[in-house]
Amino acid sequence: MAYTYQWSNPDKLILIRTDSLTGKSISINPVAEDPYYQEFLSSGAVAAPYVAPPEPTPLTTEQKIVAAGFDEGELEDYLVEKIQQRLNE
Note the pLDDT of residue 61: 86
- Residue type for position 57: T
Note the pLDDT of residue 43: 93
Contact predicate 45/3, CB 8 Å: yes
Show pLDDT as tens, one digit a residue, over the chain (89 residues).
Answer: 799 999 999 999 999 999 999 999 999 999 988 999 999 999 999 999 999 999 999 999 888 888 888 877 888 888 899 899 999 88
CA–CA dist 50, 65 (Å, integer): 35
Judge residue 37's burial from the number of C-beta atoms within 10 Å of its C-beta, 0-12 exposed, 13-18 middle, 19 or more buried: middle
Dihedral sign from CA coordinates of 28, 29, 32, 35: negative
Note the pLDDT of residue 77: 87
